[in-house]
């Protein structure tokens, strides 16, 4: 019984990366060579726990974006690099304890390949995206208690709103180019 509960819990945690339960596009999100990512270093946590937290948050961000896409669409994405805002510094506090210090020179970045298809299987948009938000400090207040990975979330949402959504709208305005079956 205990094994079944653990397996069910593990399946429930992995489910968001495989499908979308909200209305919108079905999402398939994969990770490539996480060990080679530019910066997902933990400050006060184990590397594996922090890495899972980063992945879980980015998966959530992609799920939120997928839920804004038209129902019946499918979106495949593979994350190939992440560089979190800030840098882990062991000497910032003078105690030798690591903390992530956020400064303008350490902007967030993410790289991923993606392919979005409409309900007929036709390609809407796809390719490699290399996002970096050099102005991240001017958009969100670094003061106070900001949610974890809020700079990365804002960078992805800005890209989604300015780049992906307009292409989806343009595609929706075109007549369907559904391939006719051979006779």
Assigned token pair, 4:
């079944």
Assigned token pair, 181:
């079956």
pLDDT at 1: 43
Higher pLDDT: 51 or 129? It is 129
pLDDT at 147: 78
List pLDDT tens digits, range 56-97: 999 999 999 999 999 999 999 999 999 998 777 766 666 666
pLDDT at 105: 77
List pLDDT tens digits, range 135-176: 877 865 556 667 788 889 999 999 999 999 999 999 988 887
For 25-60, give one letter per residue: b (16+ CB within 10 A) or e: bbbbbebeeeeebebbbbbeeeeeebbeebbebbbe
Q: Domain-by-domain residue ranges, the chain?
A: 26-172
What pTM was estimated for this model as a whole?
0.77
List pLDDT tens digits, range 118-127: 999 999 999 9
């Amino acid at each position: 019984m205990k094994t079944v509960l653990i397996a069910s819990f593990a399946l429930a945690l992995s489910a968001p990366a495989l499908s979308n339960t909200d209305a919108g596009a079905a999402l398939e999100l994969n990770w490539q060579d996480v060990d080679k990512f530019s910066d997902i270093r933990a400050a006060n946590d184990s590397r594996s726990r922090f890495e899972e937290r980063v992945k879980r948050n980015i998966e959530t961000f992609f799920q939120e974006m997928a839920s804004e896409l038209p129902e019946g669409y499918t979106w495949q994405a593979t994350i190939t690099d992440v560089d979190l805002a800030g840098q882990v510094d062991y000497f910032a506090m003078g105690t030798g304890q690591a903390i992530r210090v956020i400064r303008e020179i350490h902007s967030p970045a993410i790289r991923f390949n993606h392919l979005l298809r409409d309900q007929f299987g036709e390609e809407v948009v796809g390719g490699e995206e290399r996002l970096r938000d050099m102005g991240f400090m001017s958009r969100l207040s670094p003061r106070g208690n900001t949610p974890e990975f809020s700079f990365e979330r804002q960078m992805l949402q800005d890209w989604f709103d300015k780049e992906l959504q307009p292409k989806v709208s343009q595609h929706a305005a075109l007549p369907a180019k559904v391939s006719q079956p051979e006779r």
